[in-house]
Structure 1
Amino acid sequence: MAKIIPFKAVRPTRDKVCLVTCRSYEEYAPAELAAQLDFNPLSFLHVIKPAYTNQEKVSFEKRYRQVHQKYQDFKSENILVKDEKPAIYIHKIVTKNQSFTGIIVGTSIDDYRNNIIKKHEETLAFRVRVLKEYMQYSEFNTEPVLMTYANNKNIENWIFERTQKLADFEFSTTKKEINYLWKIDDAIEIDWIQNILKTENLYIADGHHRSEAVQLLAQENENTKNTSQDYLLSYLISENNVKVYEYNRLIKDLNGMTKEAFLKEVSVNYLIENKKQLPFQPTEKHQFGMYLDNEFYSLVLRNEKQDFKTVLESLDAQILYKTILSPLLSIKDLRNDERIEYMSGKQSILELKTIVDEGEFEVGFFLFPSNIEEIKALADANLIMPPKSTYIEPKFRSGIVIYEF
């Protein structure tokens, strides 16, 4: 059911790839970003963040045109080179704790519209439009949408066989990750993988805004002959090869309540155990950790409160919202309320403790991570997760593979 296509990727040359690719610029601290831009002229950061020192003074359109021009400069200098034949690409990322291997392809915007590519997150119209305009003016995309497919032994065996050969490139990053890329341009092999994936639904794990932005771009240009906008740069990975982390919550105040009054209200829905100074992290669903006034607490949802009618109602992020964040702390808008912030589960709960102890926040909540089955069930039921419910790996580096519109 899912349609995939090969494409002519633009990629760094083998000798420059380790210098070109970069993390999302939002992940860099200001000093690190400045150092990269000052001392590494080959960094793809120069493309996605041109004239970074005065960008706040530049209009969106002018900035995006600068991105396009810098991208063309990288191509003219042979830092980036376009492949001669359409291909699909196997990409492997090895971190300290895990290895991820997936296939980079183009996926169909029609499949996205027709819910063959399934979604579980709501998008913000403003962010979608900004991304659409970025792609429209820059004329490329280098951040694939992470999609999962059902575990498939045939695909797994094929990937294993192909990755035994010498990679087109292999490089390490300053984060001690190793990246590999294999180009597959054999028409028979491409046809084989296309036929296998025709029987699959694909689930967006990360990249809902990018998907919607390309859909909008294709919609606005549907009368043109530019069919490249009908496809979405995607990284397809087996559902058993993704890592799902939780997002923990930091709240700035108790909505005018005393600590004692707040705990009394929480106890209506939860069995509370004071862990004192012993750090506590949930080990199963419907169990939450809380840090308040220099002490850790265990919160276990009372059995009589567990009458869930949908998968959304049983989701821990939704339970916390419905039982504490909204009714007790008056946090209604999880995206825009300035009293709440989020920390990914990759960060230690001791980091959250330190932030609360510094005084900007009064209470922190720790969640048990969701799993891929919950994400699929939500997507199948056309239900939407609360914002910041999952932090999903792998994360893709910019500049490895570029899809041109």
Structure 2
Amino acid sequence: MIESGVLIRDTAPRFYAWRMEAQGRAQTGLVAAASLAAYEQGAIKRHESTRPPKVEDRARHIEALGAQTGPLLLIHRPDEEVRRLIAAACAGPPLCRSVQGGTVTHTLWPIDGADEIEALTERFDRIGALYIADGHHRAAAAQTAAQAMGAGTGEAASRLLTVSFPADEVRILGYHRIVRGLNGLTSPRVFLRQIGQTLGCEPAEGPVEPAQPAHFGMYVEGRWYRLAAEGAAPASGAAVDRLDVSLLARLVLGPILGIGDPRLDARIDFVGGGRGVEALAAAVDGGDATVAFSLYPTSVEDLMAVADAGAILPPKTTWFEPKLADGLVSLVLS
């Protein structure tokens, strides 16, 4: 594809500004080849466990292509000088613009001035930690591929293809749960009685998309309910224990539905917030699930607090929207 001119290889170091626009919102980040050593040493922080088969599959893909084609989505703490420098780049003509799925517009601007590159490098050094929002398996796969390809590959193999966005621009949606079966309870009525003994539970007139933490929607037997767990989150202790996903697991999924480890239990599945809470009712009404729960989105601040503590989020805690497009920018390793 490089020889045919479909892909154009840079001949000098440069950053890119990458803007994603969808549903009237925009977020603009910096494309960079980040240090793999920074990831290994914890300066690029993670919050999610990875599964070896998925890592190995992605690593083989990187080795076969000799390139990383899927960027990591990173978050950095907002910095006004970084924002200003990126905005100045975006004031010029874009290098390319692509519409993905008819809903997300991706636009790239080159940043190749020596002064701008130096200034952005210095500002990011001052920002300190970066946080993986989406792409834990890609990061681990890049590390695995670099080890397999060896030192002779070149300096690019010790890098990660990343796009870092300011924390106040990224959008996290709720990551919902659907469950098959009621753990031996004889009827939905018995299940509802147990729920009511643990949480505030009120019937709702329509779909419930929680508007605040410690509140949930529940759909069972053709009806929506509002659940409230106010006061159930610990006032102190580990940040991960205060998350809504942890509350739901501790109060409902474990003790009532008997789901101890969501990663291993085949009765539970997850529905990304991009599909809307209507997808939960459809799953139950269609027989794919017995009960569904809608969750309030985990905040970016909570994600960073968990990562700063060196902890791991429960599986399927964050759904980032929109997603980065693969193949728009690639990091060639040789």
* TM superposition score normalised by structure 2: 0.94
1:122 matched to which residue of 2?
Answer: 49
Which of 289-298 and 266-275 deviates more? 266-275
SS of the equivalent of 1:313 reads: helix
What do residues 324-364 of structure 1 show as CA deviations (whole Å, max 9, x unaligned)? 11222122232242211111112222222122111221100
The separation in 1 between residues aligned to 2:232 and 2:245, in whole angstroms, is 19
Q: CA deviation at 1:120?
A: 0.9
Confirm whether residue 175 of structure 1 aligns to residue 77 of structure 2: no
SS of the equivalent of 1:354 reads: helix
Which of 103-112 and 187-196 deviates more? 187-196
Q: CA deviation at 1:394?
A: 3.4
Residues 225 and 279 from structure 1, CA distance in 2 versus in 1: closer, same or farther, beyond 3 angstroms? closer
Residues 177 and 221 from structure 1, CA distance in 2 versus in 1: closer, same or farther, beyond 3 angstroms? closer
Residue segments in structure 2 that go unaligned for 5+ positions in a row:
none
C-alpha RMSD of the superposition = 1.7
Residues 225 and 321 from structure 1, CA distance in 2 versus in 1: closer, same or farther, beyond 3 angstroms? same
| Residue pairs, 1:209-220, within 5 angstroms | 209-220=137-148
The separation in 2 between residues aligned to 1:177 and 1:304, in whole angstroms, is 38
| Residue pairs, 1:73-112, within 5 angstroms | 74-112=1-39
1:264 matched to which residue of 2?
Answer: 193
Asked if 2 retains the 8 angstrom alpha-carbon contact of 1:269 and 1:302, the reply is no
What do residues 191-239 of structure 1 show as CA deviations (whole Å, max 9, x unaligned)? 1111111112101111011111112222344543522111000001111
The separation in 1 between residues aligned to 2:245 and 2:136, in whole angstroms, is 19
What do residues 277-328 of structure 1 show as CA deviations (whole Å, max 9, x unaligned)? 4222211111111001111111111536645521111100111112211222
The separation in 2 between residues aligned to 1:297 and 1:240, in whole angstroms, is 32
The separation in 2 between residues aligned to 1:75 and 1:236, in whole angstroms, is 26
Q: CA deviation at 1:274?
A: 1.8
Which of 318-327 and 238-247 deviates more? 318-327
| Residue pairs, 1:283-322, within 5 angstroms | 283-303=211-231, 306-322=234-250
The separation in 1 between residues aligned to 2:33 and 2:7, in whole angstroms, is 20
Asked if 2 retains the 8 angstrom alpha-carbon contact of 1:369 and 1:390, the reply is yes
Which of 89-98 and 103-112 deviates more? 89-98
Residue segments in structure 1 that go unaligned for 5+ positions in a row:
1-73
Give the count of matched residue pairs. 331
Asked if 1 retains the 8 angstrom alpha-carbon contact of 2:232 and 2:247, the reply is no
The separation in 1 between residues aligned to 2:230 and 2:277, in whole angstroms, is 24
The separation in 2 between residues aligned to 1:195 and 1:108, in whole angstroms, is 14
1:193 matched to which residue of 2?
Answer: 120
SS of the equivalent of 2:240 reads: coil
Asked if 2 retains the 8 angstrom alpha-carbon contact of 1:269 and 1:305, the reply is no
The separation in 2 between residues aligned to 1:400 and 1:304, in whole angstroms, is 45
Residue type at the aligned position of 1:153: E
Residues 254 and 350 from structure 1, CA distance in 2 versus in 1: closer, same or farther, beyond 3 angstroms? same
Q: CA deviation at 1:142?
A: 1.5
